[in-house]
């Protein structure tokens, strides 16, 4: 377990690797020392927050400007949840509390009347992945020991449990394709006939993390079952560990859309890391980590720098959704090093080199420090090329710079070390949920919860789910 023995040595070695990157460092962002990383992250966090309007009078807390289908901005509801997670990690890694009130407000405003991240304004267009992103940010808040909400408001662990329980309930599952979650929740939504990796990866990831946190084996059983389904339906390539997007139920999910997106693979890798930790280093989860990590390095880190394979080779081809993916992959890979520390020697140099490439091109805008998406080129490309405001690009840069501090950070909290309260009945008030499933363990009584079981919900061409409001 390399990282636990010497996080400071690891960070020093990684920072020394900066000199191996040939590009000249950008004027504003230096990442040669921990203090420089924190200062650069602080500036990036400030600039990123300028894209967020949710803390302004008359605006909606928790969301970035959007959705595009209503001509309100470039960003869908789920991307607000992703942004919340980014700032929870930013606080955790840097210690800067400046944005905690904004994050607290946004996370709580979007919980919905049943405290399960199904607010009425978005339920009609809800995807399992949309809800899953908010649930994972709540889980992150519990793991990072983000300050608890007031006692009369939903707690982080309980929110994560509620999302999982609603997605584990019988009405979200059926026998088409021998199981698996559909992409969309309402049967009337375009995409309801599509079972995709991201919906199931969010569910798997959340189950794996809840299993480790609570020690309730029911979560682990669901996580194991979901990963096995993705393997059996061959959304994960059995030979080279490429992770594909999904298939349609009318074809028994055999018409696999072989588009590869970095966040699909990275989300599975992070979940596998938590299962490896939960099972005390079992060989099956180590093999899955190793396979996924090999594929991710090969496909999404050519030359050691994060690269969004399906669109980055053509400027203007990435959708606003895709422009946020680099931030997720670097954050999730960095997190794997804390639950499967043997991966640190491979993962942290990828993040180091990517961070250097990212800041090298953050030279745009009137400030001379605006960040673009195309890190490998070393030159700022205006966000107008991709027809976005630049929030996704800013999220990515903040994520990769902040993640350099992961070697100094503690491992994710669990039921023994955490401060967040669980709720055995979380998610039970939602329409369609069943009865609690599985015995309540001692760990559950101490602060976690139980589960029931659920499922419902995909159409898609290569980029279909990207352009539809989710």
Distance (Å, whole) CA 323 – CA 313? 13
pLDDT value of position 28 = 83
Tens of pLDDT, residues 126-148: 999 999 999 999 999 999 999 99
Nearest to 206 by CA among 151, 123, 275: 275
**Among 274, 267, 338, residue whose Cα is nearest residue 296:** 267
Q: Output phi, psi for 376, to 5 deg.
A: -60, -30
Other CB atoms within 10 Å distance of the CB of residue 366 = 6
Helices (H), 314-343: 325-339
How many helices (H) and strands (E) in the chain?
17, 2
Angle, helices 262-278/283-300, rounded to nearest 10 degrees = 160
Mean local confidence (pLDDT), 355-372: 97
Output the pTM of the full model: 0.88
Contacts of 424 (CB under 8 A, 6+ apart): 436, 440, 444, 449, 450
pLDDT in tens, 197-240: 999 999 999 999 999 999 999 999 999 999 999 999 999 999 99
| Residue position matching structure tokens 């982080």 | 156
Residue pair 419/157 in contact (Cβ under 8 Å)? The answer is no
Least confident of 283-287, 370-374, 385-389, 455-459: 455-459
On whether the CB atoms of residues 388 and 42 are closer than 8 A, the answer is no
Number of Cβ atoms within 10 Å of the Cβ of 378: 17
Q: State both tokens at 307.
A: 């690269």
Report whether the peptide linkage leading into residue 109 is cis, meaning its omega lies within 30 degrees of zero: no
CA distances to 30, 218, 279 from 283, rounded to whole Å, are 40, 20, 9
User: Which pLDDT tens digit goes with each residue over 403-423?
Assistant: 999 999 999 999 999 999 999
pLDDT given at position 80: 98
Percent of the chain residues topping a pLDDT of 90: 83
Question: CB-based contacts of 330: which residues, under 8 Å, 6+ apart?
Answer: 306, 351, 354, 355, 396, 399, 400, 403
Mean pLDDT, rounded, of the chain: 89
H or E element: which one contains 149? none
Distances (CA, A) of 137 to 123, 205, 332, 440: 18, 12, 12, 24
Band of pLDDT at residue 453, cut at 50, 70 and 90? very low
Q: Which two tokens stand for residue 60?
A: 């909606």
The DSSP 8-state label assigned to residue 147 in this structure reads: P
Q: pLDDT band for 434, please (50, 70, 90 cuts).
A: very low
Alpha helices in 28-99 (DSSP H): 34-49, 77-94
Which residues, at least 6 apart from 127, have a Cβ–Cβ distance to it below 8 Å? 78, 183, 184, 185, 189, 191, 199, 457, 465, 470
Give yes or no for a contact between 263 and 329, defined as CB atoms under 8 angstroms apart.
Answer: yes
Q: Does position 278 have pLDDT exceeding 50, yes or no? A: yes
> Which burial class, exposed, middle or buried, applies to 293 when counting CB atoms under 10 A from its CB (0-12, 13-18, 19+)?
buried
**In this predicted structure, what is the pLDDT of residue 27?**
65
DSSP state of 40: H
Q: Are 418 and 51 in contact (CB under 8 A)?
A: no
Phi first, then psi: give them for residue 194, nearest 5 degrees: -115, 125
């Amino acid at each position: 377990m390399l990282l636990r023995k010497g996080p400071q040595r690891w960070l020093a070695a990684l920072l020394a690797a900066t000199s191996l990157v040939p590009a000249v460092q950008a004027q504003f962002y230096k990442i040669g020392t921990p203090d420089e990383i924190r200062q650069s992250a602080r500036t990036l966090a400030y600039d990123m927050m300028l894209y967020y309007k949710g803390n302004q009078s008359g605006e909606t807390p928790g969301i970035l400007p959007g959705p595009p289908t209503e001509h309100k901005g470039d960003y869908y509801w789920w991307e607000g949840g992703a942004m919340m997670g980014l700032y929870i990690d930013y606080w955790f890694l840097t210690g800067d509390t400046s944005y905690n009130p904004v994050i607290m407000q946004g996370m709580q405003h979007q919980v919905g009347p049943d405290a399960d991240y199904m607010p009425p304004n978005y339920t009609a267009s809800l995807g399992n992945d949309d809800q899953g992103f908010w649930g994972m940010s709540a889980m992150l808040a519990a793991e990072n020991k983000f300050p608890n909400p007031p006692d009369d408001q939903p707690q982080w662990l309980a929110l994560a449990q509620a999302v999982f329980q609603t997605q584990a309930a019988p009405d979200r599952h059926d026998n088409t394709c021998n199981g698996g979650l559909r992409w969309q929740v309402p049967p009337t939504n375009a995409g309801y006939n599509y079972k995709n990796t991201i919906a199931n990866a969010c569910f798997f990831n959340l189950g794996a993390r809840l299993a480790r946190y609570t020690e309730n084996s029911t979560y682990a059983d669901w996580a194991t079952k979901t990963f096995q389904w993705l393997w059996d339906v061959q959304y994960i390539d059995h030979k080279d560990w490429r992770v594909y997007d999904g298939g349609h139920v009318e074809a028994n999910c055999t018409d696999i859309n072989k588009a590869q997106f970095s966040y699909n693979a990275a989300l599975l890798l992070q979940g596998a890391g938590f299962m490896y930790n939960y099972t005390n280093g079992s060989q099956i989860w180590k093999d899955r980590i190793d396979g996924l990590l090999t594929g991710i390095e090969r496909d999404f880190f050519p030359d050691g720098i994060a690269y969004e394979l399906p669109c980055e080779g053509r400027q203007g081809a990435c959708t606003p959704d895709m422009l946020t993916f680099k931030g997720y992959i670097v954050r999730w890979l960095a997190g794997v090093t804390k639950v499967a520390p043997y991966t640190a020697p491979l993962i942290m140099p990828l993040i180091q080199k990517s961070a250097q490439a990212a800041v090298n091109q953050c030279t745009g805008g009137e400030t001379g420090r605006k960040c673009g998406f195309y890190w490998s080129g070393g030159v700022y490309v205006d966000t107008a090329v991709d027809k976005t405001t630049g929030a996704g690009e800013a999220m990515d840069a903040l994520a990769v710079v902040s993640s350099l501090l992961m070697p100094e950070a503690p491992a994710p909290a669990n039921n023994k070390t955490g401060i967040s309260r669980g709720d055995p009945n979380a998610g039970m008030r939602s329409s369609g949920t069943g009865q609690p499933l599985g015995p309540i363990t001692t760990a559950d009584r101490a602060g976690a919860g139980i589960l029931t079981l659920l499922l419902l919900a995909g159409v898609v061409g290569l980029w279909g789910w990207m352009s539809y409001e989710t």
